[in-house]
Amino acid sequence: MTAVDITPGERKRQRAMVTPEGLELRLELASVGQRLGALIIDLMIIGAITLAAIIGLLLIASAAGRSAGELVLVVFLLGMFVLRNGYFLAYEMSAKAATPGKRVLGLRVAARDGGRLRFDAVFTRNALRELELFLPMSLMLAGPFSGGGVSGWIYLLGLIWCAVFVFLPVFNADRLRAGDLVAGTWVLRAPRQKLLRDMADDGALHRTDFDFTPAQLDVYGVKELQVLEQVLRTGDRSTVRAVADRIAAKIDYARGDAPDGEFLRAYYHGVRGRLESRLLMGKRRKDKFDAA
Amino acid sequence: MSELQLKSQRFRREREADWRRLEAIVDKAEKKSASALSDDEILAMPVLYRSALSSLSVARATSLDQGLIGYLESLAARAYFFVYGARSTPQEQLVAFFSRDWPGGVRGLWRETLIALAITVLGAAVAWWLIGTDSDWFFGFVDQALADGRDPTASRETLRATLYHDEGAEGLSAFSTWLFTHNAGVALLAFALGFAFGAPTIVLLLMNGAMLGAMLHVFFEKGLGFEFGGWLLIHGVTELFAIVLAGAAGMKIGWAVAFPGADSRLEALSRAGRTTGAAMVGVVLMLLLAGLLEGFGRQLIGSDVVRYAIAAATALLWGVYFYGPRPAKVPA
């Protein structure tokens, strides 16, 4: 049953946004795990570029001699600054509004008010990354005793202080990090989805081979129909067989030696036609227990 | 066969081509950029988007095909972000930023800017006074590495030499680059720390002011005040102003968190974030300019008068740019 049903976790992350045309779009927030995954991918890319730059510039410096060393250092320092701050900025300003890490996971940044994503907002949310990510990281790397005169307790307080920001997304319903809070943005999961085949197309082919009475088609509701759709899409043979047997027994239909798949497709077509015609009358039968 | 076709199947068959076309356009725009679209595609886009939205609302009401509804939901959301997230060209954005957003953002911070300035001056005054009572205080305010021998124990000659050193011709540009990235980091931090009710920002500003006051005291003590002023202000007008602005932006954020007024904290915060964002982009640009002035201008220009002239010119430039009168709002 869970194959189609939205899990509670997903429902908690569903948000509605009303477009100017008056239609409610259902958006899904990215989970903390997805955000973290995207960040790790991005940091790995930045790290790889840094490493490549160091190696490349060292090679250039050694080839060109000492005179070029100065210039190489300037290029490196500026390059690192631009990379660290510009990477997120440039990618989130692009049409996809997502860094490569976010793209891999199907995430994108969007303005919370549904308006356009402005440059200031992207800048702000990434400026706060300094506080949420780079400050705790440098604090961790600095270690408790290298600071000279900084006691362990102060260090611990610093860690707690940073942890508040690092774990902020876990503690609010919209999974906002501090940068999102200030910039008025959030991160959504909006993956590309392909247009799948309509399972009723197959059903229509076999519909005439089977003869279902209205009572037999009225056994199930929308929820069961959607489970059946999922079963047909997956097409796992043993599941199809088990489901076909169950349905045939439940609706008391002697199907003889008709193949399981054909029987199920035809039945799906029949039930869907029946439920949809009721839908047109404004009646949505939720599931098999729904008397409507 | 045809009477076996469900209404939802017919519905899909009739509209599918339009959806596919919209999908292709959105794909293209996301993969390349909005400018890669042809005129026809740009014209077709809003029409197709609206028809996809209406398809979605019809499908939700009449179809029980999960695959179809899921597809339309995702397509409509992607198209929505494209249609309503469509930005002006980079050029227009750049013009808007320099002509409106940046000075507007800075002007909007005038109250916080005054406070941040006062805090910096306070820090400097306290440091000055404390070092006056006991010169050992200097080491409490100024980082040894940054002071680089410029402390109360140094002789007048050494101090004087640091103001006009020529040995910096080598390693000069790397130094200015380092200063820029360092200062930009500090400014971003001052801004970001504002999030915690602004308290850390105030501490940062105080420390910055104290360092300034300590340095001032050292040089004035030895009668090098005028020379130090030129050395400092040639880039300091821009740099200190930038840091004060960053602090001001941080305080604005902190104020919105602490006292959101009639809005919810979240709304107040994102509104403050929006107005300060542009000012912060500007701060980074100012620091870049300050780094250039510091690295090149200061090392290459030895004359105090010219240094003061440049300082005055930058002060005038920023003052007029940010706070000068400007024509009434141009229709956007």
The interface predicted TM-score of the complex, written ipTM, equals: 0.81
Lowest pLDDT segment from A12-26, A84-98, B159-173: B159-173
A271 in Cβ contact with A243 (< 8 Å): no
Q: For chain A, which residues make up each domain, given as ranges?
A: 13-126+172-189, 199-280
Lowest pLDDT segment from A215-224, B141-150, B243-252: B141-150
CB contact under 8 A, A190 and B74: yes
Residue B174: predicted pLDDT: 64
The predicted model gives A105-131 an average pLDDT of 83
Residue A10: predicted pLDDT: 64
Residue A139: predicted pLDDT: 67
CB contact under 8 A, B66 and A229: yes
Reading the block at residue A200, the tokens are 């009723």
The predicted model gives A226-238 an average pLDDT of 89
Give A30 to chain B, closest Cα distance, Å: 14
Residue/partner pairs of A4-12 with CB below 8 Å, 24 or more apart? A4/A223, A4/A226, A4/A227, A4/A229, A4/A230, A4/B66, A5/A223, A12/A173
Q: Per-residue confidence at B167, pLDDT binned at 50, 70, 90?
A: very low
**Chain A residue nearest residue B72, CA to CA:** A195
Q: Any CB–CB contact under 8 A between B193 and chain A?
A: yes
Distance between CA A5 and CA A11 in Å, rounded?
10
CB contact under 8 A, A127 and B63: no
Size of interface A-B (CB pairs under 8 A): 202
Upper half-sphere CA count for residue B16 (Cβ side, 13 Å) = 13
Residue A1: predicted pLDDT: 30
- The structure's pTM equals 0.75
CB contact under 8 A, A19 and B84: yes
CB contact under 8 A, B67 and A197: yes
Give B97 to chain A, closest Cα distance, Å: 9
What is chain A's length?
A: 292
Q: For chain B, which residues make up each domain, given as ranges?
A: 2-86, 92-323
CB contact under 8 A, B84 and A193: no
Q: List pLDDT tens digits, range B186-206.
A: 787 788 778 777 888 888 888
Distance between CA A263 and CA B35 in Å, rounded?
51
Residues of B in contact with A269 (CB under 8 A): 4, 6
Q: Which residues fall within 8 angstroms of residue B104, CB to CB, at 6 or more apart?
A: B278
Q: How many CB atoms are located within 10 Å of the residue A265 CB?
A: 24
User: A142 or B125, which is more confident?
Assistant: B125
Test the B interface: residue of A198, A269, A290 with most B CBs within 10 Å: A198
Which B residues, 248 through 287, put their C-beta within 8 Å of a C-beta on chain A? 253, 266, 269-274, 276-278, 280-281
Residue B170, pLDDT > 50, answer: no
Distance between CA B41 and CA A179 in Å, rounded?
35
Test the B interface: residue of A193, A220, A226, A230 with most B CBs within 10 Å: A193
Q: List pLDDT tens digits, range A31-78.
A: 989 999 999 999 999 999 999 988 988 888 788 776 666 777 778 878
The predicted model gives A243-250 an average pLDDT of 89
Residue A178: predicted pLDDT: 83
Cβ-nearest to A121 among B30, B93, B274: B274
Distance between CA B54 and CA B64 in Å, rounded?
16
Residue B144: predicted pLDDT: 65
Q: List pLDDT tens digits, range B124-153.
A: 999 989 888 887 788 777 766 666 667 777
Cβ-nearest to A81 among B50, B181, B253: B181
CB contact under 8 A, B170 and A70: yes
What is chain B's length?
A: 332
Share of chain B above pLDDT 70, in %: 88
Helix (H) or strand (E) holding B85: helix B66-85
Distance between CA A270 and CA A226 in Å, rounded?
13
Q: List pLDDT tens digits, range B75-131.
A: 998 898 888 865 666 677 778 888 888 898 899 899 999 999 999 999 999 998 988
User: A166 or B16, which is more confident?
Assistant: B16
The predicted model gives B233-259 an average pLDDT of 89
Cβ-nearest to B270 among A21, A112, A117: A112
CB contact under 8 A, A123 and B62: no
Q: A291, exposed or middle or buried, with CB in 10 Å at 0-12, 13-18, 19+?
A: exposed
Cβ-nearest to B277 among A110, A124, A273: A124
The predicted model gives A263-274 an average pLDDT of 90
CB contact under 8 A, B177 and A120: no
Distance between CA B310 and CA B298 in Å, rounded?
10
* Main-chain dihedrals φ then ψ at residue A207, nearest 5 degrees: -60, -40
CB contact under 8 A, B277 and A135: no
Residues of A in contact with B5 (CB under 8 A): 204
Which A residues, 52 through 91, put their C-beta within 8 Å of a C-beta on chain B? 70-71, 73-74, 77-78, 80-81
Residue B147: predicted pLDDT: 63
Closest CA to A235 of A268, A193, A275: A268
Q: List pLDDT tens digits, range A10-34.
A: 677 888 888 888 888 888 899 989 9
Distance between CA A265 and CA A197 in Å, rounded?
13
Neighbour-count burial for B319-329, b at 16+ CB within 10 Å, e otherwise: eeebeeeeeee
Test the B interface: residue of A182, A194, A220 with most B CBs within 10 Å: A182
The predicted model gives B149-175 an average pLDDT of 65
CB contact under 8 A, B64 and A193: no
Q: Any CB–CB contact under 8 A between A173 and chain B?
A: no
